[in-house]
A and B are shown apart, each in its own frame.
Chain A
Amino acid sequence: MMCSGMVSPDLILRALSKGADGVLVIGCHLGECHYLEGNYNAAKRVAVLKKLLAFAGVDPARLRVEWLSSAEAPTFVRVTSEFSEQIKALGPSPLKEVA
């Protein structure tokens, strides 16, 4: 994706239903968006979707948003490892059985 602002929440839902056990959205740091407000839009969408997932009965921890620049490789490694550990602990997505 060119920008976290292009990550439609519809695509996140699609990923979860097509077999992803979790979705990690990584965008540029807030205030550093080349398109000015792409990552703010991403932040809003993820916040709403997490709450909707919880209401629908899906653990909202399966969705996470992080802000990272391309110069932060160690943080990227830490965040992704941490997230994958967390998802492993949660087990397979309950939506996958349906799809």
Chain B
Amino acid sequence: MVEKVKARVQELLASGKVKGFIGLRELHGHIGPYLFTDGGDLDGFVIGDRKAAGDTRYPLNTQLIMISRQYPEETLGVLVRGCDERGLKTLFNTNQLKPEKVVSVGIACPQELADVCECMKPFPEEFVAGEASEARPFGSVERIESIEIGERLKVWLGEFAKCIKCYGCRNICPMCYCPECTLEAKDFQAVGSIASENPIFHLTRALHMAGRCIDCGLCSEACPADIPLRTLYKKIADIVDLEFQYRPGYQDSKGKMSPNVLGEAAKH
């Protein structure tokens, strides 16, 4: 599978279609993001399946945004799964990236990963390796909804109480690009103190994921307290879909629907 991806990346770099390719590299047994710039040197190129499928995924779109801001004229390539591609489309719509300056190389996730992720679309529109797995419904959301409303609050308060306020959920998020964050604004949150205000810290973040979360699940993976953040954000995506018939990244990238479904960001 990885050979097909490598061949495509090699071709992109050798032909000069892209100046660099943001992917993953394994070095000394560790896997992390890496910018490949030489098609002849793709040593250590991996797609992020170490011990289990997709167990070493990173928010490559975040690196893409950072490098693109520094080099706005250059075209860059990036490795994408279904979720990353949804992220790209949403980032194009919010003018964080220019579609003509990005070339994505897609891989489809195996069923095993789609099951764990409860992914609605475990493959990008075009992919060079893998096979399209079946979509899975949001079972984790249904499990919360089966709890009686009064008890539900106790469940969430218990989860949020574990928060050590590392801001990891926000920091790892490929869709969190705001230069100023409400979670660090003293009018909205207690700033500079631990623990996080329960439950408004996490509910505020959930609200800000409306029309934005592309369900990659990196937040849950980065959480040192194992708070089921992904379930919370899956629900906000369901709410936005129900209210506005919009689910980030599932529409055409040139579609008119803006991820700013809740109106312009409130100034603070």
Which residues of chain A have a CB within 8 Å of any CB of chain B? 5-6, 8-11, 13-14, 16-17, 37, 40-41, 44-45, 47-49, 51-59, 94-95, 98-99
Contacts and interface: CB of A to CB of B under 8 A. Distances in A.
Contact of A99 (B156, B188, B197, B206): B197
Given A44-B261, A48-B243, A14 B188 contact: yes
Interface in B215-239: 232, 235-236, 239
Contact of B235 (A52, A59, A95): A52
Nearest to A60: B149
Interface residues of B, number: 39
**10 closest Cβ pairs, A-B complex:** A57-B153, A41-B263, A57-B152, A8-B266, A51-B239, A13-B200, A17-B200, A10-B188, A55-B235, A10-B204
Interface string B176-218: 0000001000011000000001111001101100100000000
| A-side interface mostly | helix
B154 A52 contact: no
B240 interface: yes
11 contacts: A5-B263, A9-B262, A10-B188, A16-B200, A17-B200, A37-B263, A41-B263, A51-B242, A52-B206, A53-B203, A95-B199
